[in-house]
């Protein structure tokens, strides 16, 4: 098996989908979400500064989902994908995923953006396997405000990948090839994990810190936006 792992925000999309989702909700939900929008903006700052708290972030996103009926969330998500995400799905990003798939790789999207947002985006790219934090739903399909399973951020992505392989009865050393595409220095743990497994790492639209590391280590750098 050949495995290709893609990050989402900044890698395949030139936007942060989770960030944009909160702003979009603030515009369409009919409630005052100004405090939530401001908190989301603060999370974005903390992410760039390397002091991001993934547990607090996911609690925040799960709580927002639980404020609204599922029928409304689904309706708003359809609009969000159409109005916000689709215009940012570039031919270059689609071509990269297709090229990797055509080369015989199993493609996995591993993202810190929670699954209610990232799952329909994965489908836009034709990616069937999504590793992301998943909202918990009750027996009626309503959001509970909690999540199920683990996080998918920084070192947690390694755990997610190992769990995915374990379900297939595989270990990293069983793979024919492994490659990871990401824009973010926050993904350095998985980058180093893939590199140590004799895999290939590709700094894709890298942030300044990751670009510097890639240049020092001789990692591939691509710009698709």
CA distance 46 to 65: 22
CB 97 within 8 A of CB 179: no
CB 223 within 8 A of CB 92: no
SS3 168: coil
Catalytic center residues: 7, 9
CB 65 within 8 A of CB 135: yes
Q: Cite the DSSP H helix spans in the chain.
A: 17-28, 34-48, 54-66, 70-80, 91-102, 115-124, 155-167, 188-196, 208-217
């Amino acid at each position: 098996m050949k495995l290709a792992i893609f990050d989402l925000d900044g890698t395949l999309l030139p936007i942060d989908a989770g960030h944009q989702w909160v702003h979009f909700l603030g515009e369409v939900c009919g409630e005052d979400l100004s405090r939530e929008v401001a908190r989301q903006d603060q999370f974005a700052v903390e992410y760039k500064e390397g002091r991001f708290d993934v547990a607090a972030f996911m609690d925040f996103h799960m709580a927002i989902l639980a404020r609204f009926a599922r029928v409304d969330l689904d309706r708003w998500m359809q609009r969000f994908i159409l109005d916000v995400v689709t215009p940012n799905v570039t031919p270059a990003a689609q071509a990269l995923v297709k090229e990797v798939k055509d080369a015989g790789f199993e493609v996995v999207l591993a993202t810190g953006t929670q699954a209610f947002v990232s799952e329909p985006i994965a489908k836009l790219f034709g990616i069937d396997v999504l590793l992301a934090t998943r909202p918990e739903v009750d027996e009626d399909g309503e959001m509970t405000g909690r999540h199920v399973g683990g996080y998918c951020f920084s070192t947690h992505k390694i755990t997610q990948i190992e769990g995915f392989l374990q379900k297939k009865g595989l270990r990293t050393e069983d793979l024919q090839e492994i490659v990871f595409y990401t824009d973010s220095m926050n993904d350095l743990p998985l980058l180093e994990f893939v590199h140590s497994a004799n895999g290939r790492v590709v700094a894709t639209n890298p942030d300044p810190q990751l670009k510097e590391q890639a240049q020092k280590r001789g990692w591939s750098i691509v710009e698709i936006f």
